[in-house]
Amino acid sequence: MDRVPLERKVLSENDRIAADLRARFLEHGVLCLNLISSPGSGKTSLLERTLEALPRQDRVAVLTGDIQTENDANRLKRFHFPVKQITTGGTCHLDARMIERHLADWRLQDLDLLFVENVGNLVCPSSYDLGEAAKIVVLSVTEGEDKPLKYPSIFFKSDLLVLNKIDLLPYVPFDINAAAENARKVHPGMEIVKVSSLTGAGLHEWITWLEAKRKAHKSLVETAS
């Protein structure tokens, strides 16, 4: 079989499973968010600060993907929310079947919010639907402000851009306004928050966005039911 038809078959099967996941998430009122970025942009640190800020009674869980090791899951487990590591063993993205398999022994009716931390990569994850309600792309100021132009697919498909590590702006040649402008060239009207997971700057805006998304999803679930 040629490579292109094989890729289409794989993506078609992925989309089928993702559609089933999306229906299950909607049925049980679970908001699923897929976080995507280059390696080292600070996704795990952002999730650490997020879990730290959320009330302990919130029904939140995390699936975190990496090619090797369970380091990220171990960092997140200390906040006492359910966390699982998905180790891909070389695959540069998560797919819907991985999500389905790792959710098998979790009761979706016991969750309201599911974070999926994808493998560090701006290319491969953009092609794989995981059944999420929204993709979130994280770009740190230690990268280039032209990343949205170099990797337009993931910026176009993401609801939110998190510009992370803003505490480093005085020390790196990063034009944050140019980064935002480039993102909106690819995705006009894209929402953007600027944060530092180290100092906590901007985290209020991130949590506010998250709560608004949860409220909108709850209304969608009520309408669907």
CA 183 to mean position of chain CA atoms:
17
Q: Residue 71: which pLDDT band, with cuts at 50, 70 and 90?
A: confident
Prediction pTM value: 0.93
Q: Indicate the domain borders of the chain.
A: 3-224
* DSSP code, position 1: -
φ, ψ dihedrals at 65, nearest 5°: -105, 140
76: amino acid identity, one letter: L
**Pick from 28, 52, 76, 66: which is nearest to 206 by CA?**
52
The pLDDT tens digits for 152-176 are: 999 999 999 999 999 999 999 999 9
- Supply 76's token pair: 């997140």
CATH number of 3-224: 3.40.50.300
At 223 the pLDDT is: 87
